[in-house]
Amino acid sequence: EVEIPQLNSSSHAIDVVRAALGKSVTQLVRSDAKLRVSDDAEAVHQARVAVRRLRSHLRSFQPILESDWAGALRERLRSLQDNLAAVRDADVLAANLEELSQELTPVDAQPARTVVERMRETARKSRETLRSALREPHYVELLDALVEAAARPHALAGAEKPARDVALELIHADYKRLRK
């Protein structure tokens, strides 16, 4: 169970961290079973979004989190993100190629079907790699660490300040990247 705090105008910065991490951890955990037993492209998408958000939150909240802890957790998520991206990218590319091939003449359609089948095979292999990673002990340990992170993030002293007082500091680096 991941408890997600309700936020209001008097919430502390740590509450915002816990809410953000908690929502993404919950989304990842909910996708887990489907990732293991089905070819549901939406489950892959939802898990990928959750992992990307987790990594982003850990970077965005870096000013109020223990740097080594947040960085290590972000790094542990990288492999999962890469595996999910490989499946999602292959699925999307295969679907797009298949749709585009419907517009081809019969002469051109056969080679296009060959390309689509190769991409579907790439997606299948990527899915097998993902499922293999989900069976590894380090993945279960990662899920446990994420649940723990959502409940008790390793925060610095400033995390107990009201969220409104540290919000600008938290978004400053992201805003600078966005402007570039």
Could you give the CA distance from residue 51 to residue 47 in angstroms, rounded to a whole number? 6
The rounded mean pLDDT for the chain is 92
**Residue 27 identity (one-letter amino acid):** Q
User: 13: which residues sit within 8 A by CB, 6+ positions away?
Assistant: 64, 155, 158, 159, 160, 161, 162, 163, 165, 166, 167, 170
Q: List C-alpha distances in Å: 176 to 53, 55, 65, 75, 132.
A: 18, 18, 20, 23, 38
Could you give the CA distance from residue 160 to residue 151 in angstroms, rounded to a whole number? 15
State the pLDDT at residue 165: 81
* Structure confidence by residue, pLDDT tens digits, 74-125: 999 999 999 999 999 999 999 999 999 989 998 998 899 999 999 999 999 9
Q: pTM (2 decimals)?
A: 0.87
* Burial of 16: CB neighbours in 10 Å, binned 0-12, 13-18, 19+: buried
**Residue 98 identity (one-letter amino acid):** E
